[in-house]
Chain A
Amino acid sequence: MKPRRSWPLLSPYLVGLVGLVGIPTLVVIVLALTEFDLVRPARWVGFANFTALAADPVFRTALLNSLVFALVATPLRLLLALALALLLHRRGPATGAGRTAAVLPTAMPEVAYGLLWLWLLNPVYGPINLLLTVGGDPGLTIFGRTPPQWLTDPTDARAAIILLSVFTIGESFVVLLAARRMLPAPAYELAALDDATGWDIFRRVTLPLLAPVLVLLFLRDTLMGLQFSFIPALVITDGGPPPYATTYVSLFIYRNAFEYLRYGYAAAATVIMLGVAALIIAIQWLIIRHLRLR
């Protein structure tokens, strides 16, 4: 087939890309340079929104929260997905049930998932803190005399959002499971004949062969991580506990746009978020290319 002939086939997707991504992006960029509250007509303000954001401590907190979340949660999520995929790729007793269990949290509606965690994380009767209890002495946990205050302590709340995010790895798990099952069996037989240990097989065979898929999932999951935290932060912690411990950029944008009606301000934050995401992906890409060429 000639390359030109592929355009008719791509055009439905192109319509979506332009209509749902391209034009809204342009609108957001233009909106970022204005002040708009749905009531009065939009007013051109130039870069005023950006300078205001730079000085806004809440936005800075939100940006930092998002970056820390992506930095911690993304590797954890990928590691867990890889571990589960390698654990469950072989057919054995209860692998079917195990695979289902690995995917199930991802299949739940996010709000329901969030509400479920609200109960799980309850400091008094929540199962998580009950599990952390040591011995019969009420209140004594493996973290010391004070049990984690998941919903009220800033650090514990950030940890809680990360904790609940590492279970929604169904997509990465399925992709890695499929990728692992596609790896050539003879490669493993060669390794067995060479008396390679499990660790050597993982490091020298499985990991390099899965690397292309892992890179793809890592880049994608980083982007997702910058956005994923929105619903749990809204449903479980409501952006708190103070001061803005779990206000992520996505929540910050949502609040400003739909609660405070500061559309220009929210659009400017969105543009910055886009820039930060692009920067992170570029840095990761450079590191990966460097590793691959080595």
Chain B
Amino acid sequence: MTRADGLQLVEVRAGYGEADVLTDVTLTVPAGVYLTVLGPSGTGKTTLLRVVAGLEPARGGTVSIGGRPVTDLRPGRRSVAMVFQSYALFPHLSVADNITFGLTVTDVPKARARQRAREIAELTGCTALLGRRPAQLSGGERQRVALARALVREPAVLLLDEPLSNLDAELRAQTRDELRTLHERIGGTVVHVTHDQGEALSLGDRVAVLLDGRVAQTGTPDELWRRPANRAIARFLGSPAMNLLPSDHPLVGIDGTAGREYGIRPEDLLIGSAHDRGVLAIVYRAEVTGADAYLHLRVDGVAGPPLIARHPSATRPAAGEQVRVCPAPAGWHVFEAATGARVNGAE
């Protein structure tokens, strides 16, 4: 378990007031790994970071950083740095002084602190901003400075709270690449929380899904996508969500076992013309999102929510047209209907 020396949480409980936001978080992040934590709003992602940072007390469990328990240490002694969602900076200090603050208060000599600030500023691309005040920075610039501030003390764990959510789409894509590049250059353990699946899956070496105050699953982005551990994770990952069918649905066919549910992602539903193989269905709406269109299908004689299938928008059938729907081979995710646990399925 030597690689487990990054960050470890064991049965951590935390919350505000009466309610626990995090009920039981157990999570291991090997050193040097970029972990993204994905969860819906209000699920305790920020609380998780604040507990790791020590800004919020853990009501139970232990937090270890670099193999050393830090649960009872104050934030400054944990070797963590955090970039807040608001890109918080000291409003009264210049960018340079903001970056050196953490060095100055720990008695690093002034000349060395300035030297470090320049290096970090270069690394994060904010050299031109050193003389400015936070009020004179744009959102993207603030974020760079907040990142530089966080990195200057060379923390063992870097915590990023929704670092891309306040940026516009173009800047977000660019910053996403830069975060990845930066991590490859300087290493270190990163915990990046986000509610954006694309961001979580594309950035993380590993992804932890946080649902209802606990880590529902941890794995590589591929593992999570291909083998979600239960129905809730399967439904949460992917937009539009995975189709869930009862075992007696015509599309499941004769393989259906009673007491199970069958999930299939929109991209695994293949659409053919009326004389192909498959189940007959009516297209009653086609949602075009650019290159792809999401077809809302109704299968004859089956009630319940519509099937949603992804199809290239250029060749999409018109609304009202009758088509054949056929599941892709190995596209099925099978769950226990009662517990939601995964039984087997797609690779």
Query: Interface residues, chain A, CB within 8 Å of chain B?
Result: 184, 186-187, 189-197, 200, 204-205, 208-209, 211
Contacts and interface: CB of A to CB of B under 8 A. Distances in A.
A195 B77 contact: yes
A195 B105 CA distance: 7
Contact of B55 (A192, A196, A200, A209): A192
Given A193-B53, A193-B81, A195-B76, A184 B105 contact: no
Given A186-B84, A190-B149, A196 B92 contact: no
B76 A200 contact: no
B76 A187 contact: no
B91 A209 contact: yes
25 contacts: A184-B88, A186-B84, A186-B88, A187-B88, A189-B55, A189-B82, A189-B84, A190-B84, A190-B101, A192-B54, A192-B55, A192-B74, A193-B75, A194-B101, A194-B102, A194-B106, A195-B74, A195-B75, A195-B77, A195-B105, A197-B105, A204-B104, A204-B105, A208-B92, A209-B92
B16 interface: no
Contacts of A190: 84, 88-90, 101, 149
A194 B76 contact: yes
Interface string B66-101: 000000001111001110101011111100000001
A209 B92 CA distance: 7
A211 B89 CA distance: 18
Contacts of A186: 84, 86, 88
Contacts of B106: 194-195
Interface centre among B53, B75, B80, B84 (most CB of A within 10 A): B75
B90 A194 contact: no
Nearest to A194: B102
Contact of A193 (B80, B89, B90, B91): B80
A191 B92 contact: no
A186 to B, nearest CB: 3
B298 interface: no
Interface size class of B (residues with CB under 8 A): 20 to 34
Given A187-B88, A194-B105, A196-B101, 12 more contacts: A189-B55, A193-B53, A193-B75, A193-B80, A193-B82, A194-B76, A194-B102, A195-B76, A196-B102, A200-B105, A204-B105, A208-B92
Contact of A187 (B54, B75, B91, B104): B91
B260 interface: no
B108 to A, nearest CB: 11
A209 B82 CA distance: 22
B190 to A, nearest CB: 15
Contacts of B77: 195
Interface centre among B81, B105, B149 (most CB of A within 10 A): B105
Nearest to A189: B55
Nearest to B159: A193
A189 to B, nearest CB: 5
Contacts of B55: 189, 192-193
Contacts of B80: 193
B144 interface: no
B153 interface: yes
**Looking at B86, B93, B101, which has the most chain A CB atoms within 10 Å of its CB?**
B101
Contacts of B84: 186, 189-190
B81 A204 contact: no
Contacts of B91: 184, 187, 209
B169 to A, nearest CB: 26
Given A192-B74, A192-B76, A193-B82, A204 B101 contact: yes
A192 B81 CA distance: 10
B90 A205 contact: yes
Interface string B43-68: 00000000001110000000000000
Contact of A194 (B86, B88, B92, B153): B153
A195 B92 contact: no
Nearest to A185: B88
B25 to A, nearest CB: 20
Contacts of B90: 187, 190, 205
Contacts of A195: 74-77, 102, 105-106
